[in-house]
Chains A and B, each alone.
Chain A
Amino acid sequence: QVQLVQSGAEVKKPGASVKVSCKASGYTFTSYFLHWVRQAPGQGLEWMGIINPSDDVTTYAQKFQGRVTMTWDTSTSTVYMELSSLRSEDTAVFYCARDKGHQNYYASSGYYDYWGQGTLVTVSS
């Protein structure tokens, strides 16, 4: 069965960076796009960006441009999201989510059919 298993909770100081991992299993890793989504405490979902594990293409939300880097390791079917210059407002749960794609052609759809369990990142001095 499809599973996305994320790394554990992190506590970081302002100005530091955090790198969250998301290990995929149960499907062909390079056949599906993956997204990262942020949810601050008591707040809504916020799309951060998308990564295509098959062709080295990433797209980031303008809000996170310059601070976020999404990478992957095909050998371990793992994607990573690194957020730098952390501030207290970055305290949130970060989710990875698989893109369902389309039945007849290879492209992202924005339909998140499987989600990781979430990783809480706390930014505090």
Chain B
Amino acid sequence: QSALTQPPSASGSPGQSVAISCTGTSSDIGDYNYVSWYQQYPGKAPKLLIYGVNKRPSGVPDRFSGSKSGNTASLIVSGLQAEDEADYYCSSYAGSNIYVFGTGTKVTVL
């Protein structure tokens, strides 16, 4: 099972929006709506941001939103803030009780 493909980096100025793509195949993202997104600061464990493609756990700001089209999922961070500077990972179910992460995207707030 290959990792999902994410851009290595993304950036934006405070207040702007940044979109991160996560491209898989018809065997993972394209076949299931079990897509989630995680935020990770250096030296820390990841944090669940989005699950079920577009659902937010309680406590996650509505600046974070998710979507999916075909084999590609997307995370949009609106109203970018300094504390959004972190690494972001997508994840998807790939069938047969197998899961896969994305390659990760480093978001920089300019």
Residue numbers of A with Cβ under 8 A of B are 35, 37, 44-47, 50, 57, 59, 61-62, 95, 97, 100, 108-113, 115-118
Contacts and interface: CB of A to CB of B under 8 A. Distances in A.
B46 A112 contact: yes
B34 A59 contact: no
A113 B89 CA distance: 14
Closest 4 CB pairs of A and B: A115-B45, A111-B51, A44-B104, A59-B97
B101 A108 contact: no
Interface of B: 1, 3, 34, 36, 38, 40, 45-48, 51-52, 57, 89, 91-93, 96-104
Given A44-B103, A46-B101, A61-B1, A110 B38 contact: no
A interface SS class? strand
A110 B51 CA distance: 9
Contacts of B92: 110
Contact of B104 (A45, A111, A115): A45
15 contacts: A37-B101, A44-B89, A45-B89, A45-B104, A46-B3, A47-B100, A50-B99, A59-B98, A61-B98, A95-B45, A100-B48, A109-B34, A110-B91, A110-B93, A112-B36
B20 to A, nearest CB: 13
Given A59-B97, A109-B93, A118-B45, 14 more contacts: A35-B99, A44-B102, A45-B40, A46-B101, A47-B98, A50-B99, A59-B96, A110-B91, A110-B93, A110-B99, A111-B36, A112-B38, A112-B48, A116-B45
Given A45-B89, A59-B96, A113 B48 contact: yes
A100 B51 contact: yes
